Each structure stands twice: as C-alpha cells, then as structure tokens.
Structure 1
Amino acid sequence: MYAQQQNLRPHHSQHHHHARPASTGPMYASNQRGPPAGDPQLYQYFSAVDQDRSGSISVTELQSALVNGNWTRFDLDTVKMLMGIFDTDRSGTIDFKEFSGLWKYISDWQNVFRHFDRDNSGSIEGQELAQAMRSFGYNLSPQILTLIERKYASAPPTAYGPPPGITFDRFVRACVVVKTLTESFQRVDTDRDGWVQLSYEQFMNMTLTAP
C-alpha cells in the first residue's frame, strides 16, 4: 500500500544559499566572549540575529533572519515549526549549537527546493509538487495534491508580487506535515492495507499534533 519512503532530511550539498540576517550594528557586545567552536561566519550570523545579546534566539528574532528567494519573510508558523524541531532543550529559544543544526537543515532543504523548482519561479506548484512528493515516497492522489497546494500556496499580494505557488518556507512545512501525518497513520494501520478504524480521540490527537 505504501511506497518506500525516503528520509525527509534532505541530502546535504556543499552549495548553500543562506538567508540573510538584518544588520544590527556591532557584531559582538563588549562583554561577550569569543565565538564557540564551529563555523565563525555562521556565528557572526547568529550574533547579528541575536539582537538582545542574550546568547540565544527567539522566534521573532529567527523570523527576522529567514527570507525566501523573493525576499519575503518566512511564514511565522514555519518558523515556530523549525523552533520546535531544533529547540532540543525546550527553552523556547535556540542557542548557537541548535542554530547550527537548523541552518544546515534549511540549507539542505534549499537544494531540494531548487531541484524541484524546474521553472526557477521561486515557488513550487502543480507537477513540481507531485514530483517532489513522489521522490519522497508519497503517492498522493491529484485531489490531495490540490488540497496541499491550496493550503500552502501564497497568492501575490499585488499584481507585482511573487507568483502564486508554494514558497520555500511553506514547501518545507508542507513536506514535514505530510511526513508527520503519514507516520501517524501508519502507526495505527498495522496491517498496511490503507484503512484504519479510529476513535475521535485518536483522530484529534493525530491531526492536532501535526506541525
């Protein structure tokens, strides 16, 4: 019933296109220690995003640092999802180590996005979305693919705005949601026939725990 699903953690590539943090003045506060072990350039990004010099990044600070290819900010729900994945100590913020993992995750996803954005429009739509989902092992019906596109696509705010379709940030969220819901379904579909009997409680738990 199920296709062989690939790990949704994207393949790492050496070619990265990083989001740009806003300039926030001096990179280091006078009482700040030197950068921890890791990529010095990435630590500079981290320090620029850490506007209150707390040593960790909040949801709003992270959103200000992440932009799509069309220079629109990441959707807040996507930022919260990423925080939930990489805030491993559940502090509500991410430190430099957690930020490093998040940055690599985003960079790898950008390579995946560029691969399926065949027309280089900066968004994923139609057959591009179907090809991406099939490559991850999800054989979704045209009706479900249409629902995904309608749910996650962003219409241009003006005639001069970005083209309609799923921007990078929403593409990542859509893929993670499909993965999460599929895994939740498979846990109760023990005989793998594509049919399950769920209680109302199970159904609500399955849907409300999706990102």
Structure 2
Amino acid sequence: MAYSQGAYGGQPMAGGAPAGPFSQPVDPVIQQWFVSVDQDRSGQISTSELQQALTNSNWSRFNEETCHLMIGLFDRDMSGTINLGEFQALWTYIQQWKGVFDQFDRDRSGFIDANELNNAYTQMGYRLSPAFSSMVVFRYDPQFRRQLSLDNFIQSCVLLKTITDTFRQKDAQAQGVINVGYEEFLSMVMLNRH
C-alpha cells in the first residue's frame, strides 16, 4: 500500500466513524427516519432493522454483512445496536459514501467498476493500486459482473477504514510498513470484522 504522510485514508471522510461522542443536535428529519426504522420501538436499531431500511438502486436490500459492519463501526456502547445519535452519525456517512459512489457511477447504472472504485478510493485519500481495486471488486461482487453495488462499495469502505486505522496504530512513524507476527496479523484482521 502506497501513501504519502498521513494520506492512507487520512481524509476526514475516509470511510469511517468520527472518533468522539456524538454531541451534535439531532436533525428532526433523521429522528423521524430513525423512528420509522426502529420497528420494535426499542430506541435502538439492529442489523436486521437497518437492512430492512436500506436499498440499492435496483431496490435490492443491503446485505446483512454490510449492515453489521456499519453498526459495528458506529456502535460506541458495544450493544450490537445503534441509538439515535449513533444513527445520525451513520446516516451522515452513508450520505457521504453514496455521494462518492454516485460521483463515480457516471452511467447511473447503480454499479461502479474497478477503475471507478480506484478513483473513488483516491478521492477519499487512499493511494492504492488498480490491482488492489480489481481484487476488491472480485471479492465483493457476488454475481461476478466485475462491478460493485452501493452496499458492496460501502462494505469495502468500512473494512478499508477499520483495517487502515489498525495499521496506522502499528505504523507510528507513518512509513507504510509494519512488522507483526502471524497471530497478531490474524488478530488485526479478526478484530476489524466487527
């Protein structure tokens, strides 16, 4: 992975959750959306509730893994669900991810290819090879169309963000190289699967 100082995902909208507590005022539109998604009226949104609420451009539901990863990224109290404040932060990021996706889905097909994905990653502050982006498309395209839907794009962004953050913790000098043992590497990967 190549990067310049602080640029391997260092942009503010690099695909992940903000670090601190969610203290901004709740947008009434987001609160209304939260209430409609919270089907069991628990005051929390589960993976399955989020999955029921999110659709791709072809009206297919987001896959469960994407919803699980997004909840894991924003679930500050580790409850397996997100509250209104966490949902508001997630919703902001979903809109940002969708904005990037839409910018590179120039034919408005609801899909992006490996080249478009690589350009999207670059815009988000990552400098990754075209071969890496092709591998991501291969990994996240279950129908082997050589393109990603919005939810698979978001899933790749969440994983790229969390794994980059873990890498960054080990790369104190921002050299782009870390030295870890096999089990530590496995732990880094497993912990980032939420």
Note closer, same or farther for the CA distance 1:144–1:56 as it changes in structure 2 (3 Å cut): same
- Letter of the 1:201 partner, please give it: E
C-alpha deviation, 1:41, in angstroms: 3.2
Partner of 2:13: 9
Structure 1 Cα separation of the partners of residues 102 and 57 of structure 2 = 10
Note closer, same or farther for the CA distance 1:195–1:69 as it changes in structure 2 (3 Å cut): same
> Equivalent of 1:198, from 161, 180, 184?
180
Contact 1:59 1:80 in 2 (8 A): yes
Note closer, same or farther for the CA distance 1:57–1:138 as it changes in structure 2 (3 Å cut): closer
SS at structure 2 position matched to 1:114: helix
Partner of 2:117: 129
Partner of 2:26: 38
SS at structure 2 position matched to 1:74: coil
Structure 2 Cα separation of the partners of residues 53 and 193 of structure 1 = 48
- Letter of the 1:173 partner, please give it: Q
C-alpha deviation, 1:210, in angstroms: 2.3
Deviations 1:38-64 (Å, cap 9, x if unpaired)? 333333322222222222222111110
Structure 2 Cα separation of the partners of residues 189 and 73 of structure 1 = 37
Structure 1 Cα separation of the partners of residues 26 and 167 of structure 2 = 39
> Equivalent of 2:77, from 79, 84, 89?
89
Unaligned runs of 5+ in 2: 16-24
Note closer, same or farther for the CA distance 1:53–1:179 as it changes in structure 2 (3 Å cut): closer
Larger RCO (CA under 8 A, 6+ residues apart) = 2
| Residues 47-196 of structure 1 aligned to structure 2 (within 5 Å) | 47-155=35-143, 165-189=147-171, 193-196=175-178
**Kindly, what percent of the aligned residue pairs are identical?**
40
Structure 2 Cα separation of the partners of residues 100 and 189 of structure 1 = 31
Note closer, same or farther for the CA distance 1:89–1:190 as it changes in structure 2 (3 Å cut): closer
Q: Which has the higher helix share?
A: 2
Note closer, same or farther for the CA distance 1:200–1:68 as it changes in structure 2 (3 Å cut): same
C-alpha deviation, 1:166, in angstroms: 0.9
Q: TM-score, normalised by structure 2?
A: 0.79
- Letter of the 1:61 partner, please give it: E
- Letter of the 2:39 partner, please give it: Q
Contact 2:14 2:125 in 1 (8 A): no
Structure 2 Cα separation of the partners of residues 40 and 154 of structure 1 = 37
Note closer, same or farther for the CA distance 1:48–1:200 as it changes in structure 2 (3 Å cut): same
Report the count of equivalent residues.
180
Find the structure with the greater CA-based Rg. Answer: 1
Q: TM-score, normalised by structure 1?
A: 0.73
SS at structure 1 position matched to 2:113: coil
Note closer, same or farther for the CA distance 1:198–1:64 as it changes in structure 2 (3 Å cut): same
